Amino acid sequence: MMALDILREQRYKSAAFHTRRTMEKNNMIKLHGFAVSNYFNMAKLALLEKGVDFEMVNVHGSQDEAFLAISPRGKVPVLETEQGFLNETNVILEYIEETQGGKPLLPSDPYERGYVRALAKEIELYIELPARSCYMEVFFGGKVEQAVKDKAKADLLGGIATLKRHAKFSPYVAGSEMTIADIMFLFSIDLASAVAGKLFAIDLLAELPEAKALLAELAKNPNVQKIEADKNAEMAAFIAAAKARK
End-to-end CA gap in the chain: 15
What tens digit of pLDDT does each residue of 76-113 get? 999 999 999 999 999 999 999 999 999 999 999 999 99
The reply to whether the predicted model has a pTM over 0.85 is yes
SS3 at position 29: strand
Residue 26: per-residue pLDDT: 54
Kindly list the domain boundaries of the chain, sorted by start residue. Answer: 3-99, 110-245
Burial class (CB in 10 A: 0-12, 13-18, 19+), 194: middle
Identify the band that residue 2 occupies on the pLDDT scale cut at 50, 70 and 90. Answer: very low
How far is 140 from 238, CA to CA, in rounded Å?
10
Average pLDDT in the 232-242 region?
89
For residues 227 and 215, is the Cβ–Cβ distance under 8 A? no
Please name the fold of domain 3-99.
Glutaredoxin (3.40.30)
How far is 127 from 157, CA to CA, in rounded Å?
8
SS3 at position 56: strand
Element (H, E) at 137: helix 135-140
Average pLDDT in the 11-28 region?
50
Burial class (CB in 10 A: 0-12, 13-18, 19+), 165: exposed
Class of domain 110-245: mainly alpha
